[in-house]
Amino acid sequence: MDKLRSIFELREMLRELERDVGLEALNRTERDVLLAAHSLSDQPGEIVSSEQLRSHALLKSVAQATLYRAIRTLLGHGLLERAAKTKARSYVVRSDLVNGDHSGH
């Protein structure tokens, strides 16, 4: 099997997984921000800063304005929440909502 075919099949499997958990409405940057934030959270409710997100491997090539636009979208969908009792630009991932249960957003 050639390498392009393998890449295509992996991308198709990834698209199916993203659809299964309700991420198809998000653009690529929004998905990457959510995945990066989740990977930085060792446990539910753990706080992730915008600085951590900005330096994450998935997001290093993303312009700062694009990153913050994606964060605002995720906040609007309820997939990220502003962390309580912290300085600005700290967030908590709502992984419990990532499985299609956030309909209406």
Q: Tens digits of per-residue pLDDT, 25-36?
A: 999 999 999 999
Q: Residue 102's pLDDT is what?
A: 41
In b/e form, how buried is each residue of 45-81, taking b as 16+ CB within 10 angstroms?
eebbbbebbeebebbeebeeeebbbbbebbeebebbe
Note the CATH architecture for domain 3-97: Orthogonal Bundle (1.10)
Each domain of the chain, given as residue ranges in start order, spans: 3-97
Q: Tens digits of per-residue pLDDT, 41-63?
A: 888 888 999 999 999 999 999 99
Residue 40 has pLDDT above 70, yes or no: yes
